Amino acid sequence: MLQKVLKKEPSLGEMVFRPKLSLVNGHQVSWMTGAKSVMIREVYNKLKYEREIFMLSDGAEIAIDSRPVKDGDDQNRPLLIIIPGMLSGVHDHYHHTLIDLAVKNGYDWKLINYRGVTHRMTTGVPFCSLDS
């Protein structure tokens, strides 16, 4: 298979991998990604949102974050519901990118924060597939 690909595109065989000095192994890549996330969240975060807290019957809390509603806003905008991964929430920079695109394209948004996740949510048993 590799030989077929190289016959069609011989320049691929001439390519050499040269890692950047700052990212020569997986540990450094993980560290740099984490540092970038913290910097974006703490320094460049301009996302404004409102949080509604809901108390569940077992005493746990979940929250739904959304764009602040202003007087005169179009109430008929399409709605993007963001369901993040198990340990993710509105604080993650990749959600900010998605939210920015949604707002620029005329969408409203809501993001679900599971119990036990995203700073404020500390009561109850954390939700995950093992506990559900």
What's the pLDDT score for residue 39? 74
Give dist(CA 63, CA 128) in Å, integer.
Answer: 16
What's the pLDDT score for residue 55? 82
* 105-118 b/e (C-beta count within 10 Å ≥ 16 → b): eeebbebebbbbbb
**Residue 80 three-state SS:** strand
Q: What is the pLDDT of residues 13-46, one digit of tens each?
A: 787 877 666 666 777 777 777 777 777 666 666 7
User: In this structure, are residues 50 and 65 in contact, taking their beta carbons and an 8 Å threshold?
Assistant: yes
Give dist(CA 94, CA 33) in Å, integer.
Answer: 12
Which parts of the chain have pLDDT scores under 50? 122
User: In this structure, are residues 115 and 56 in contact, taking their beta carbons and an 8 Å threshold?
Assistant: yes
What's the pLDDT score for residue 109? 92
68's CB contacts (< 8 A; 6+ apart) are 48, 49, 50
Q: For the chain, what's the residue count?
A: 132
What's the pLDDT score for residue 130? 52
